Structure 1
């Protein structure tokens, strides 16, 4: 039997590559006769660059940028040349990721996306025809204001001090936005996201993702107001774009994906970016569809398989691709928080948790490789026919 192992990272414990290798070791323990293909994946969040670097022939350019609190951290961009077209890949989580912050430091009122702007500036230095920015896993909620400041759109004292500071930003805080946008003239700026949330409202960045980044309900409301003020400043600065179909005004803050990564999607839209599904972009880049057509079973996974996993995440993208190819897919996750009814629509044939009870969570965190390997070995007994 040919089994494809295509997990996302297990956030906080394993990279996607480490997870795939642990799954492979466990599967081989039970079914050494099976053929295994490892395809670690990402939906635009942490690990985006590593996954693409492993699949594409390109140059990884190392650099140093600012983290959400202004400290220097190592980062990179991936530059790929194909048939005369140069593409620069950027992973926003390398500069704005929640994993860069200790639990006590997680405060979206003060964290900034300035470092993501530094990554984009570095990408522009390579004169690409296309820049692809992976969004996800951020510890910020500043609408991408810090990113814009790093590109010269306005003063850092107004734009790069976190989400809450935007509430007091003056009307001319984005006086350089048109010039910043001009830097991307002739560049196809692609925004790869795992969510379609708008910037504001009940489904917006502050309400939905703010609590995951350390925001209390009160702070989430404060951030919502600050981002609202930010859109007012944008409206005073940037000509209103028109919808090509209706001819009416186009509200970029309401575009699907504007709320991704704490509003980074919105800032990239202001620079002329267009949204694509992060997981679909990665699936195409690694040749997933061709591999699946030659396989018998697809195994995906992530740290926590919950309701958010069902739309736009790696597990959902993998399951849908397997369904289109007429193959069964299963999910092997650290924890499983949704039931059979929720997964049936994706064609998922089974879900398996490493930690099946709350008491097992600590053991899984202490030995993520060993526990994932052991669970994969047990799953293989069910799915791999005896030779």
Structure 2
């Protein structure tokens, strides 16, 4: 995206600005956020060269990022079960890359935005597993499995059930999908799972949390899925029950990223998938390092910058690449609740708008305002 000759700028020479935000979940996708920030910047400095590189970290928007970055990528439609019993089926897609890789995104199949009202004890990942099966049946040679933005805390049991694992009660009947069903869990049989594709399956995680404990799936991510103080211990207890019945469960539960997507990381590790850094893989796919190396400033962002943001989220990876290139980096976030260390500047939409509620009314307008504010201070 170029805005014209250098002479069109205000004061100073034209600059090259890379805009690489993640999605502002539930409000604006990554491409829309990048475009809005760029429009705001160009309103102040119309002669600058704006390079847009929408980011993702394995959560919402991961398929979009790969689709935009990889020539020949093909969306393959698939219809899967909704993330709660009785919910409508979800018409979505997985992505086939020219090298035989399939990209499957949990947020697109079993995501938080697909459940209203939230049902933390009943939401499940069955649809995600169905999409994985569809990709395997299509003959993919490798899988990239994007985790993040899930509605459930089922430890990945729903996904594995869709892949032909068995989770049964004392009488041998399948337990209900979702966290609540794990209360009745008596036996786990993973022998029916399909083999991994020839080049394996890599989990694109956006966090490094383990499955259990104070930094685990229930304690940290349960509240965003609707769990209150009484529900969180129930979610934790059910995950503990699952771990006790899964082969090598204790070791897998302690792995970095096992707690991703309500413990779906744990379930995929039990299948044999390997954990990877989602934001780093997406950055490689979109050529972010090269774009950053030739920039004067990099702008990144996400919906909420908090204590989890340093653990593999997209802005952290963008900032790392910028620092390695010796390029300053600025942060735009809907809300900032942790110290944004390492950023030259930061702008919170809530601060610009006066409140979270006001920012949510028209987030695109406030993203443009953030772009203008950064152009005035960093341009």
Shared fold per TM-score greater than 0.5? yes
Matched, 1:101 2:115: yes
The aligned counterpart of 1:314 is 314
Distance of 2:338 and 2:245 partners within structure 1: 41
The aligned counterpart of 2:143 is 131
Q: RMSD value over aligned CA atoms?
A: 1.7
Distance of 2:353 and 2:179 partners within structure 1: 35
The aligned counterpart of 1:247 is none
Distance of 2:192 and 2:181 partners within structure 1: 23
356-365 vs 273-282, which moves further: 356-365
Matched, 1:72 2:89: yes
1:332 Cα deviation after fit: 1.3
306-315 vs 317-326, which moves further: 306-315
- Give the 5 Å matches for 1:7-86: 7-57=21-71, 58-70=73-85, 71-82=88-99, 86=100
Distance of 1:195 and 1:3 partners within structure 2: 28
Q: Is the 8 A contact 1:13 1:368 kept in 2?
A: yes
Higher helix share: 1
Distance of 1:287 and 1:159 partners within structure 2: 45
The aligned counterpart of 1:244 is none
Distance of 1:332 and 1:197 partners within structure 2: 24
Q: Is the 8 A contact 1:108 1:142 kept in 2?
A: no
- Equivalent of 1:89 in 103, 111, 134: 103
Distance of 2:359 and 2:19 partners within structure 1: 20
- Equivalent of 1:223 in 225, 228, 235: 235
The aligned counterpart of 1:143 is 155
Q: Is the 8 A contact 1:301 1:333 kept in 2?
A: yes
The aligned counterpart of 1:372 is 367
Distance of 1:159 and 1:4 partners within structure 2: 49
The aligned counterpart of 1:161 is 177
Matched, 1:351 2:346: yes
> Which digits, 9 at most, give the CA deviation of each residue in 1:278-299, with x for residues without a partner?
1001101101001111111100
The aligned counterpart of 2:358 is 363
Distance of 1:374 and 1:232 partners within structure 2: 51
The aligned counterpart of 2:192 is 179
Would you say how many aligned residue pairs link Structure 1 and Structure 2?
358
Distance of 1:307 and 1:133 partners within structure 2: 24
Q: Is the 8 A contact 2:157 2:167 kept in 1?
A: no
Q: Is the 8 A contact 2:202 2:274 kept in 1?
A: yes
Q: Is the 8 A contact 1:146 1:159 kept in 2?
A: no
The aligned counterpart of 2:129 is 117
Matched, 1:297 2:311: no
TM-score by length of 1: 0.89
